[in-house]
Amino acid sequence: MNRILIICSLWGFLSFALQAQDKLYTLEHIVEVRINFSEPNWHELLDSLKERGQDERLIADVNVDGKAYPNSGIRYKGNSSYFNVRNAGGRKLPFNIKVNFQEKDARLPGGYETLKLSNVFRDPSFIREVLSYDIARKYVPAPRANYSRVYVNDDYMGLYNLSESVDEDFLKQYYGSKKGVFFKCDPSWDQSAPGNCKKGNNASLEFLGKDSVCYFPYYEIKSKNGWGELMELINVINNNPEALEQQMNINEALWMLAYNNVMVNLDSYIGRLCHNYYLYQDEYNTWHPVLWDMNLCFGGFRYTGMGAPLSNEAMQDMSLFLHYKENNTQRPFVLKLLGVSHYRKMYLAHVKTIVEENFSNGWYKERANEIRALISEDVNKDPNRLYSMELYEKNLNETVRVDNSSIIGITELMDKRAENILAHPLMQKAPPVVSEVQHQVVGEEAIITASVTEADEVWIYFRQEAFAPWQRQPMAANENNEWAAQIELTEEVQYYVVAENKYIAALSPARAAREFYEIVVK
């Protein structure tokens, strides 16, 4: 049995992930960004481009941590974070900087091309985006994020969130390819579909018809083509969900739904606006959902799309089966995935893992205080911060009023929410227990075994090369609670185990498939 190899492969994977976190996005490092425009009326020019909805950029020389990037392309970014702040007379507006806009070989440390600088809109705590992504990356590919001091023509604009762009570099790193079909699932608020199309609910993945123009207002294509592929995915979700496992990384989708629900991230697919995610189809024709835009996570947005905004208490006790129990046909992704017993149990396992690894154990508070220790002085010195230091100090733990709205405290929400989730009747049921996951190489095959109790069915998910689609097959049990599966051996096999009973599932490793077991044939 090769238990040592299994453990080493897990740590090897984790080491690889840590090595990828270069200095640009290291949390402990606050990046200095200096933008120098030759035009004195640079704001008016950028604002004009933004008003026209054009993706044009203004040329500027940019300096990042002392390194020059001449002829970079600058534009304003965001919707509410831009227009609300600008209309209120605020100077701290969000930027998108492309350092290789004209100098095509220019790259930031780590090989990145783009800086996305957010103004921390509607987050008096100043930590929602960074903390949320920190948690998400434990389970799925998600942007890295930290902070940046931003100057424009030597005028200090303040402390910004700096988050990794979901772009070709991101796709290549996490999915092994960057030339697939790529969509930003965020509606164009000033565009509407032709009258013969069914009215959509933003990027809800509802089937709106066989004409691609019906989808134009709701999805922004980022690749050269792909409308046909997107419509096929939407058709399968709505009309043939049993075939979805052959088209999509289901586990990533379940992690996304679990994450959004646990974190009360309603400015997402599960909220009223039904947006703020990406879809990417890789070279194996497998679709991947990607989380994006976390400044309103932890209850910063209160609307589910079903009735009035949620109270603090309603967010603390929000249903784990939001949209599913209401049979909300405007959220087919939730309905179809949670409608499959196996997926629903995996979803519950993911919910449990997220709560236990981050909230019920107090880890998120420690992380939040580490972040605050890093940034508090800079927040205090920010000449254009959107909210007072009093609100900053309070909003980690208390509800505060912002723009005639209430922003719940992060710990105020999550301590009670974690308690409520773990008290759910399904969470009270004994989950399967998976241990002693091992493999043995026999000729051209690998035999994978696991000791499992409290389970009715056990599955092996495996792939025979990195980035390939995960395949699923059942494991068979013997009288000693040992389950086994036999798969064809290749040079590299990655796998994880899912055990389920009547109520819930358990995964080994618990963070699968961000972590997995591996067999390497030398």
Instruction: Please report, for the domain that includes residue 445, its CATH number.
Output: 2.60.40.10
Alpha-carbon distances of 22 from 9, 28, 63, 110, 181, rounded to whole Å: 22, 11, 18, 6, 27
pLDDT beyond 50 at 24 = yes
Q: Which residue has the higher pLDDT, 327 or 200?
A: 327
Q: Kindly tell me if the per-residue pLDDT of 201 is higher than 50.
A: yes
Give a yes or no: residue 299 inside a domain: yes
Are residues 127 and 187 both part of a single domain? no
Residues 32 and 155 in one domain: yes
What's the whole-number average pLDDT of the chain? Answer: 94
Q: Answer yes or no: do 200 and 163 share one domain.
A: no
Judge if 197 and 241 occupy the same domain.
yes
Domain membership flag for residue 85:
yes
Whether 438 and 510 map to the same domain: the answer is yes
Checking if the pLDDT of 13 tops 70, the result is: no
**Strand ranges across the sheet with 476-477:** 433-442, 445-453, 482-488, 476-477
Our count of domains for the chain comes to 3
φ and ψ at residue 148, rounded to 5 degrees: -145, 135
Per DSSP, the three-state class of 24 is helix
Of the candidates 139, 167, 195, which is a domain's last residue? 167
Cβ-based neighbour number of residue 414 at 10 Å: 26
51 and 145 co-located in one domain: yes
Residue 342 makes CB contacts below 8 A (sequence gap 6+) with 459, 498, 500, 505
**Continuous H helices in 187-249:** 227-239
Arithmetic mean of pLDDT, 426-439: 97
Is the model's pLDDT at 9 over the cut of 60?
no
In a domain, 465, yes or no: yes
Give the span between the Cα atoms of 101 and 59, in whole angstroms: 8
In terms of residue numbers, what domain contains 345? 170-357
**Which residues have CB under 8 Å from 255's CB, separation 6+?**
139, 140, 350
Last residue of a domain, which of 357, 380, 410?
Answer: 357
Residue 194 lies in a domain: yes
**pLDDT greater than 80 at residue 358:** yes
pLDDT in tens, 348-357: 999 999 999 9
Q: Give the Cα separation of 383 and 314 in Å (integer).
A: 36
The predicted structure's pLDDT at residue 190: 78
According to the model, what pLDDT value does residue 478 have? 87
514 contacts 139 by C-beta, under 8 angstroms: yes
DSSP state, residue 446: E
CA atoms of 172 and 476, how far apart (whole Å): 36
Model pTM?
0.96
Confidence of residue 481 (pLDDT cuts 50, 70, 90): confident
- Which residues touch 231 (CB under 8 Å, ≥6 apart)? 210, 212, 215
Top-confidence residue, 289 or 199: 289
Instruction: Look at residue 40 and tell me whether its pLDDT is greater than 70.
Output: yes
Which of 346, 155, 135, 145 minimizes the C-alpha distance to 260?
Answer: 135
For residue 48, what is the enclosing H or E element?
helix 42-51
Residues 467 and 329 in one domain: no
Helices 341-358 and 250-262 pack at an angle, to 10 degrees, of 50
Domain end (from 133, 167, 201): 167
Residue 253 lies in a domain: yes
Q: Edge-to-edge, what's the strand order for the sheet holding 220-221?
A: 220-221, 181-185, 277-281, 287-291
Q: Are 64 and 95 part of one and the same domain?
A: yes
Placement of tokens 């220790």 in the chain = 373
- Give, in degrees to the nearest 5, the angle at Cα 413 between 412 and 419: 100
Is pLDDT of 4 > 60?
A: no
CA distance 453 to 431: 9
pLDDT at 480: 85
Quick one: tokens of 336?
């179809």
With b for 16 or more beta-carbon neighbours within 10 A and e for fewer, the 298-324 pattern comes to: bbbbbebbeeeebebeebbbbebbbbb
In the chain, the percentage of residues whose pLDDT exceeds 90 is 90
pLDDT in tens, 400-414: 999 899 999 999 999
Task: Please indicate, yes or no, if residue 389 is contained in any of the structural domains.
Answer: no
